[in-house]
Amino acid sequence: MKLAIVILNWNGKNWLEKFLPSVILYSGDTEIYVIDNASTDDSIDYLHQNFPHVRIIYNTKNNGFAGGYNDGLKHIHADIYCLLNSDVEVTANWFDPVLNLFKSDPKIAAVQPKVLDYNRKNFFEFAGAAGGFIDNLGYPYCRGRIFESIEEDKGQYNDETEIFWASGCCLFIRAEDFWNQKGFDERFFAHQEEIDLCWRLKNDGKKIFYTGKSTIYHVGGGTLNKQSAQKTFLNMRNNLTMLVKNLPLAALFWVIFSRLILDGAAALYFAFQNGFSHLWAVLRAHFSFYSHLPGTIRLRGKNQIKKYHNSKWLIFKHFI
Question: Do 203 and 269 fall within a single domain?
Answer: no
Q: Which of 4, 73, 2, 1 is nearest to 37 (CA)?
A: 73
Question: Do 102 and 190 fall within a single domain?
Answer: yes
CB 158 within 8 A of CB 213: yes
Question: Do 137 and 243 fall within a single domain?
Answer: no
DSSP 243-282: HHHHS-HHHHHHHHHHHHHHHHHHHHHHHHHH-HHHHHHH
CB 99 within 8 A of CB 80: yes
Interior angle at CA 23, CA 176 and CA 130, nearest 5? 65
Question: Do 12 and 145 fall within a single domain?
Answer: yes
Our count of domains for the chain comes to 2
Whether 242 is covered by a domain: the verdict is yes
Question: Do 64 and 114 fall within a single domain?
Answer: yes
Report residue 232 CA to chain centroid gap. 15
Whether 85 is covered by a domain: the verdict is yes
Question: Do 94 and 237 fall within a single domain?
Answer: no
138: amino acid identity, one letter: G
Question: Do 190 and 311 fall within a single domain?
Answer: no
Helix/strand/coil for 292: coil
pLDDT tens digit at each of 320 positions of the chain: 999 999 999 999 999 999 999 999 999 999 999 999 999 999 999 999 999 999 999 999 999 999 999 999 999 999 999 999 999 999 999 999 999 999 999 999 999 999 999 999 999 999 999 999 999 999 999 999 998 899 999 999 999 999 999 999 999 999 999 999 999 999 999 999 999 999 999 999 999 999 999 999 999 865 555 668 999 999 999 999 999 999 999 999 999 999 999 998 888 888 787 788 989 999 999 999 999 999 999 999 888 988 899 998 898 888 87
Question: Do 253 and 117 fall within a single domain?
Answer: no
* Domain span holding position 50: 3-218
DSSP 192-229: SHHHHHHHHHHHTT-EEEEEEEEEEEE---SSS-TT-H
Looking up residue 25, the CATH number of its domain turns out to be 3.90.550.10
User: Of all helices (H) and strands (E), which one includes residue 239?
Assistant: helix 229-246
Q: Which DSSP state fits 152?
A: B
